[in-house]
Amino acid sequence: MAPDPKEGRREGSLAAPTRHPLGWREPSFHDPQALERELERVFEICHGCRRCFNLCNAFPTLFDLIDASASGELDGVPRGDFARVVEHCYLCDMCYLTKCPYVPPHEWAVDFPHLMLRAKAVAFRAGEVGWRARVLSSTDAVGRIAGIPVVAEAVNAAAATSLGRKLLDATLHVHPEAPLPRYQSRPLRRRLEPRPQVERAQPAGRTRGKVVLFTTCYVDRNEPQIGLDLVRVFEHNGIEVALAASERCCGMPKLELGDLDAVERAMEANVPALVAMIDRGYDVIAPVPSCVLMFKQEWPLMFPDDPAVAKLRAHTFDPFEYLAQRHAAGLLSLDFKQPLGKVLYHVPCHLRVQNIGQKTREVLALVPGTAIETVERCSGHDGTYGVKREYRDVSMKIARPVLDRLRASDADHYASDCPMAGHQLESGVTGRGAPTHPLSLLRLAYGL
């Protein structure tokens, strides 16, 4: 939690900000009194700063509570209302990585996302998280059940009727207009095996020329086509794609709930199989930025002394980051067959905070006859936040700058690396059709 004193004291954001270990095993981490004191300290700093007023609804909630209090200061806010701030944080990390000048090594050591995560973890341990949030965050279990043949058709049919949506609203408080994924009875992992092996993989930069695909709960069970498109593109570029022996949810939905023990179980269930593949010469990629962020950042911050987690971090890539490194070494095929025209490209927050630059834009811009218009604002989807009845209006308000750009654009395609963010945008506009995932656009451009 605390910054390393050896780093010295200076303004944090004059250099690229770095995250620090979560310290969730420290005795004070789950202490409610220690948490309240830290919330008071950081909220006081944020009240005096207010730079993050337009990132999400956590900060406006805090500032409204302060402004509406009798004293107009933090001391006038009932401590029980602090939870109302916490519930609006979906741990995107944007405040830490793009705004805050007081992050460690600044002596104020403000780490707003980790403080929110700590508050969620304390609430979870205290049993304050209801069954609905637990169900919605159990993406792999829900996917396994909803993906059973016949059940999948029934679930999809029910989700497409107003009666079914009313039922979902009444039971799980899922907003009737929120986009819901369709379930596939034949998941991606079953469609892919076995893949052809490349005789001699060619390394380039940090890439080793063969990858293990972590399919992710969403792409495996809901949109396997994105994974199929990824495989075609990678194999077209001479990169072998394999699967790990087993795969479970990375735990990101559980992290957003504050269920850190479940995140640990997710790490323990996935890391051995992925590291076994790394030891056989593979790198790791995943078609959903949140899962890549889990491997690159969240597990390393929760388990900073685990060498297997560190090894996984060193070998994990965003798919377009991988392709961009291959291109830098002259190894990306440029035999594009089809221009993409204008593409409105949304950069999801969990990709932005990976600090790798806009690799998706760079690679898509290689396609002749293609113009990319980039939007770097939150889509408002944010895990399960945007589907919950009580947050739907706020989530659409957060998405509004992106939706306005989409409405005003005459783009031929719109795309987001996060498939769920793409569908959130789809639900907020009419007449623009469905989003096309950037990997699907690249396959289209290759004419594969």
In terms of Cα–Cα distance, which of 247, 244, 309 is closest to 282?
Answer: 244
Under 8 Å between Cβ of 22 and 114: yes
Q: Does 91 bind ligand SF4 (CB under 6 A)?
A: yes
DSSP class of residue 27? G
Q: Please say which residue, 116 or 204, places its beta carbon nearer to ligand SF4.
A: 116
In 3-state terms, what secondary structure has residue 317? strand
**Using CA atoms, how far apart are residues 231 and 418, in angstroms rounded to an integer?**
17
Count of all residues that appear for the chain in the document: 448
**Phi, psi at 373, each rounded to 5°:** -110, 120
Query: Within positions 109 to 168, which residues make up the interface with ligand SF4, using CB under 6 A?
Result: 110, 112-113, 116
> Contact letters (x/-) for ligand SF4, 2-41, by CB under 6 A?
----------------------------------------
Q: Please say which residue, 46 or 233, places its beta carbon nearer to ligand SF4.
A: 46
- Max CA pair span of the chain: 72
Among 22, 35, 55, 257, binds ligand SF4 (CB under 6 A): 55
The footprint of ligand SF4 on this chain (CB under 6 A) covers a number of residues equal to 24
Under 8 Å between Cβ of 295 and 350: no
Q: Does 94 bind ligand SF4 (CB under 6 A)?
A: yes
Q: Please say which residue, 61 or 370, places its beta carbon nearer to ligand SF4.
A: 61
Q: Does 398 bind ligand SF4 (CB under 6 A)?
A: no
**Using CA atoms, how far apart are residues 367 and 335, in angstroms rounded to an integer?**
9
Beta bridge partners of 242: 212
**Using CA atoms, how far apart are residues 44 and 21, in angstroms rounded to an integer?**
23
Q: Does 58 bind ligand SF4 (CB under 6 A)?
A: yes
Among 52, 121, 178, 425, binds ligand SF4 (CB under 6 A): 52
Among 22, 35, 46, 241, binds ligand SF4 (CB under 6 A): 46
Under 8 Å between Cβ of 66 and 389: no
- Angle between the 438-446 and 224-236 helix axes, to the nearest 10 degrees? 50
Q: Please say which residue, 99 or 423, places its beta carbon nearer to ligand SF4.
A: 99
Query: Within positions 98 to 117, which residues make up the interface with ligand SF4, using CB under 6 A?
Result: 99-100, 102, 110, 112-113, 116
Q: Does 45 bind ligand SF4 (CB under 6 A)?
A: yes
- In the complex, the residues that contact ligand SF4 under the rule CB under 6 A are 45-46, 49-52, 55-56, 58-59, 89-95, 99-100, 102, 110, 112-113, 116
